[in-house]
Structure 1
Amino acid sequence: MTYIDPSRANFEAFKALPRDEPIHMLNLLLYRDLAEYPEGHEHVDKGWTGRRAYQEYGATSGPIFRRVGGTIIWRGAFQAMVTGPEDRRWHDGFVAQYPNSAAFFEMIKDPDYQRAVVNRTAALIDSRLVRFKPGEGGEGF
C-alpha cells in the first residue's frame, strides 16, 4: 500500500494534538521515475522525473514554509533498511521543524501552497509524514 496524502482518521488525530508547541515532521520520500501531473497542468509534457517535480514543489512551497517559521533540521539520502521490511526503500528523508502545528496548518491552507502541492503529488509513489514532539539530543539513547 502506498501513501501520498493523509487519511481522514490520521489527519483528525494530528489536528487533535496540541497546536501551541514545536513539532518535528519526519518526511520519507519515494519518487516516481516520471512525474504524473494531471491533464492540462503546465508541467504535464515536460518529462520531469519525480525528483525534479519534488524540487519544483520545494521551490514553490519553500517561501510559504519559511514564512510560517519552518526549517529543515536534518536531511539525508537513503542507503539501507537496517530494521524493517527488506523490500522497503526510500530515496530521501528529512525532518522539518515548525514552531507549532498552527504554523503547519497555516502553510497547508495558503492558496499558493495549495497550487504548489500538485508538484509533490506528481512526484511521489509513496511517502510518510510522521509528527514528533521534539526532545533533547545527547550522547545516550
Structure 2
Amino acid sequence: MAHYIDPTKTGFQAFKELARDEPIEMLNLLLFREKAEYPEGHEHAGKGWSGRRAYEEYGKTSGPIFRRVGGSIVWRGTFQAMVTGPESREWHDGFVARYPNSAAFFEMIKDPEYQLAVANRTAALVDSRLIRFKPGTAGEGFG
C-alpha cells in the first residue's frame, strides 16, 4: 500500500489550477508513526517523541501562521471504524481546515517559519490524505 505525506506533483498542479478567489476546505486524514522520524541533526531528533507528539509540535509551530492567513478548523475527530472503504485502512485523526481562499493556503506554505514547522509533520506521519473541497451548504438532507 502506498503512503503519502507530501502532495504529489500531479495533485498539487490540480490544486493550483482550481479557482483561487473562493473559500476552500481541506479534509486532512492522519496516520501517525509509532515513533517520530526526524532527520539526523534536527533539534527534535533523538527525543523519542511519538508521531502524535511530533504532530502536536507541528500544530504548535504552524498554528500562528495558519491563523494569520485566516485559517480555522471547522471539524475535528478521532477515527473509530471504516464503514465504507478498505478494511485494512484506518486513520488516527481527521480534521477539516477552512481557508478564505487558496491564496491564503499558498501564503502559509511559502512562509519560511511554516517551512521549518512542516518538518514536524513529516516526522510525525506514516500516511495522510489532504483533499480539497469547495464548501457547500449545510442542511438536513444528503442531497
Normalising by the smaller structure, the TM-score range is over 0.9
Aligned to 1:4: 5
Partner of 2:74, secondary structure, is: strand
Aligned to 2:132: 131
Aligned CA-pair RMSD: 0.3
Matched, 1:20 2:21: yes
Aligned to 2:83: 82
Amino acid at match of 2:112: P
C-alpha separation in 2, matches of 1:75 and 1:9: 27
Amino acid at match of 1:135: G
Partner of 2:48, secondary structure, is: coil
Aligned to 2:104: 103
Amino acid at match of 2:56: Q
C-alpha separation in 1, matches of 2:65 and 2:7: 20
C-alpha separation in 2, matches of 1:56 and 1:20: 30
Partner of 1:41, secondary structure, is: coil
- Unmatched runs of 5 consecutive residues or more in structure 1: none
1:89 Cα deviation after fit: 0.1
C-alpha separation in 1, matches of 2:87 and 2:49: 29
Matched, 1:69 2:70: yes
1:2 Cα deviation after fit: 0.3
C-alpha separation in 1, matches of 2:88 and 2:103: 36
Q: Percent of counterpart pairs with the same letter?
A: 78
Amino acid at match of 1:67: R
C-alpha separation in 2, matches of 1:128 and 1:71: 18
Alignment size in residue pairs = 141
1:87 Cα deviation after fit: 0.6
Once superposed, which parts of structure 1, at least 4 consecutive aligned residues long, lie more than 2 Å away?
none
1:25 Cα deviation after fit: 0.1
C-alpha separation in 1, matches of 2:86 and 2:10: 24
1:75 Cα deviation after fit: 0.1
TM-score of the superposition, structure 1-length normalised? Answer: 1.00
Partner of 2:28, secondary structure, is: strand
C-alpha separation in 1, matches of 2:7 and 2:117: 17
C-alpha separation in 2, matches of 1:24 and 1:7: 19
Amino acid at match of 2:101: N
TM-score of the superposition, structure 2-length normalised? Answer: 0.98
C-alpha separation in 1, matches of 2:9 and 2:78: 29
- Unmatched runs of 5 consecutive residues or more in structure 2: none
1:44 Cα deviation after fit: 0.3
